[in-house]
């Protein structure tokens, strides 16, 4: 049986279909502020009904990308197409795109209700319809009791929810959310995440969301883009980003990972051997396309795929390391063991705490063995 990467949430992958037409298309878009390049020759296709996440360090150009789509910045060069039409010269108030601002930008002189109704009034909707929609939105963000308050009478999380409701009220074809849930507590955030997913799915909207929370991106998105210095490093579904990162940058940015540097000793068929002087042994792995013998490469394996035990593995097992437990992080659901190899390198292994009581717990300074199967990690060449 063919193996797949991670769980399959829904059958939705227009990006794999060569005939599918992208809904939003960035074509070699560059944006410069003076001589600083915020977005650098970026091309990206986003499909209708897609839930698309932008991830990246602060200042990498995520907000700038969104502002160009919303119409507040003109690209220095390149084109942005929406549903096949060039957006150049279309003012923000004529674009079927709504944005939730990173700074919320609530109208201070209007009530919560007034803020949410503002966009609907611009469309000239009849009053009963506006009232109904506002009620619905207030219910969605659980602010019914605060309808008559002004923004300064709300808490940070409540304001964020008003901003969210205001941008959602018009049910725009494309909704841009710039860190929409950052100020919410964990419980409310999770609830809102699932509600956002429901809304997006039910109304068939296209969401482009910026977040600093990887878990959030993983949970909600159809695809994730990892950005750095104004460029896209990788664009792929969550499981692929996690299990098949295309570079050390992505591997390191998303989740926790062990990166071991080495030289490709041999590459035959789909088997690859990496000589790693750093850990004094060689690693057996599956070849992942690029990488010829003699090239420098990095072996990347997630800590939860590294097995840790007191007992030596049976003879003939590949990829065995031994060392001493250096540090233990107990996180409740899992424990993270940092194991120091004889030459000083640290390899992390996480173990799910599946039982409450353990017979022979692994403790500080214990001598342990680390192993992983050949297909547990991948070899990265950049």
Partner 1 sequence: MNKNLGWFNLTSLVLGFAFLYLPILLLVVFSFNESKLVTVWAGFSTKWYVSMWANEGLMDAAWVTVRVGLLSATIATALGTLAALTLDRFHRFPGRTLFSGMVYAPLVMPEVITGLSLLLLFVAINFDRGFWTVTLAHTTLTMCFVAVVVQSRLVTFDKSLEEAAQDLGCPPVKTFFAITLPLILPAVVAGWMLAFTLSLDDLVIASFNTGPGATTLPIKIYSQVRLGVTPEINAICSIMIGIVAIGVIVASIATRRSELERDKAERAAFRVDG
Ligand X SMILES: Nc1ncnc2c1ncn2[C@@H]1O[C@H](COP(=O)(O)OP(=O)(O)OP(=O)(O)O)[C@@H](O)[C@H]1O
Angle at 132 between CA 128 and CA 135, to 5 degrees: 140
Return the number of the residue (72 or 364) whose C-beta is nearest partner 1.
Answer: 72
Of 97-105, 132-140, 210-218, 265-273, which segment contacts partner 1 by CB under 8 A? 97-105
**Least distance in Å: CB of 106 to partner 1?**
5
Instruction: Give the sign of the dihedral formed by CA 78, CA 83, CA 89, CA 92.
Output: negative
Q: Is 62 in the site for ligand X (CB under 6 A)?
A: yes
Of 13-21, 42-50, 115-123, 227-235, which segment contacts partner 1 by CB under 8 A? 115-123
Q: Which of 24, 44, 54, 70 binds partner 1 (CB under 8 A)?
A: 70
Q: Which of 29, 38, 254, 276 binds ligand X (CB under 6 A)?
A: 38
Helix or strand run (H / E) with residue 69: helix 62-70
Interactions with Mg ion, residue window 50-79 (CB under 5 A): 63
Q: Is 59 in the site for ligand X (CB under 6 A)?
A: yes
Token readout for 221 is 């998105």
Q: Which residues pair with 31 in a beta bridge?
A: 39
**Least distance in Å: CB of 42 to ligand X?**
12
**Least distance in Å: CB of 58 to ligand X?**
3
Return the number of the residue (99 or 241) whose C-beta is nearest partner 1.
Answer: 99
With CB cut-offs between 5 and 8 Å by kind, which of ligand X, Mg ion, partner 1, none does residue 61 bind?
A: ligand X
Instruction: Report the SS3 class of residue 260.
Output: strand
Return the number of the residue (183 or 244) whose C-beta is nearest partner 1.
Answer: 183
Q: Which of 53, 64, 98, 200 binds partner 1 (CB under 8 A)?
A: 98
- Residue 233 CA to its chain's centroid (Å): 12
Per the rule left: phi > 0, alpha: psi between -120 and 50, beta: everything else, 32 is beta
Q: Whole-angstrom Cα distance, residue 138 to residue 132?
A: 10
96 Cβ contact partners less than 8 Å away, ≥ 6 residues apart: 82, 172, 173, 174
Q: Is 328 exposed, middle or buried (0-12, 13-18, 19+ CB in 10 A)?
A: middle
The residue ranges that bind ligand X (CB under 6 A) are 33, 36, 38, 56, 58-64, 102
């Amino acid at each position: 049986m063919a193996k797949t990467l991670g769980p399959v949430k829904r059958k939705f992958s227009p990006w794999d279909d060569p005939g599918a037409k992208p809904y939003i298309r960035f074509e070699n878009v560059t944006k410069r502020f003076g001589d600083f390049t915020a977005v650098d020759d970026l091309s990206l296709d986003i499909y209708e009904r897609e839930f698309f996440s932008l991830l990246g360090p602060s200042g990498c150009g995520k907000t700038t990308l969104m502002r160009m789509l919303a119409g507040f910045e003109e690209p220095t060069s390149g084109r942005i197409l929406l549903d096949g039409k060039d957006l150049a010269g279309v003012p923000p108030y004529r674009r079927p795109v709504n944005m939730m601002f990173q700074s919320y930008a609530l109208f201070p002189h209007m009530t919560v209700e007034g803020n949410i109704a503002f966009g609907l009034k611009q469309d000239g909707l009849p009053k009963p319809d506006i009232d109904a929609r506002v009620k619905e939105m207030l219910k969605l963000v659980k602010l019914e009791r605060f309808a008559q308050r002004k923004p300064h009478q709300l808490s940070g999380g409540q304001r964020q929810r008003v901003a969210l409701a205001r941008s959602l009220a018009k049910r725009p074809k494309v909704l841009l959310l710039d860190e929409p849930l950052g100020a919410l507590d964990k419980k409310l955030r999770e609830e809102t995440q699932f509600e956002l997913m429901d809304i997006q799915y039910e109304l068939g909207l296209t969401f482009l969301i910026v977040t600093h929370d990887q878990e959030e991106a993983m949970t909600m998105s159809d695809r994730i883009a990892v950005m750095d210095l104004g460029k896209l490093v990788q664009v792929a579904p969550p499981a692929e980003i996690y299990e098949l990162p295309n570079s050390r940058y992505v591997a390191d940015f998303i989740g926790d990972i062990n990166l071991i540097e080495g030289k490709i000793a041999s590459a035959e068929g789909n088997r690859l051997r990496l000589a790693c002087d750093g850990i004094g042994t060689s690693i057996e792995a599956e070849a992942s396309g690029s990488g010829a013998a003699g090239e420098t490469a990095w072996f990347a394996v997630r800590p939860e795929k590294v097995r840790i035990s007191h007992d030596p593995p049976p003879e003939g097992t590949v990829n065995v390391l031994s060392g001493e437990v250096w540090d233990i992080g107990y996180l409740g659901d899992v424990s993270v063991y940092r194991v120091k190899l004889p030459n000083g390198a640290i390899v992390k292994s996480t173990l799910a705490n599946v039982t409450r009581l353990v017979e022979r717990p692994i403790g500080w300074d214990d001598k342990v063995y680390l192993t992983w199967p050949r297909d547990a990690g991948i070899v990265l060449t950049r």
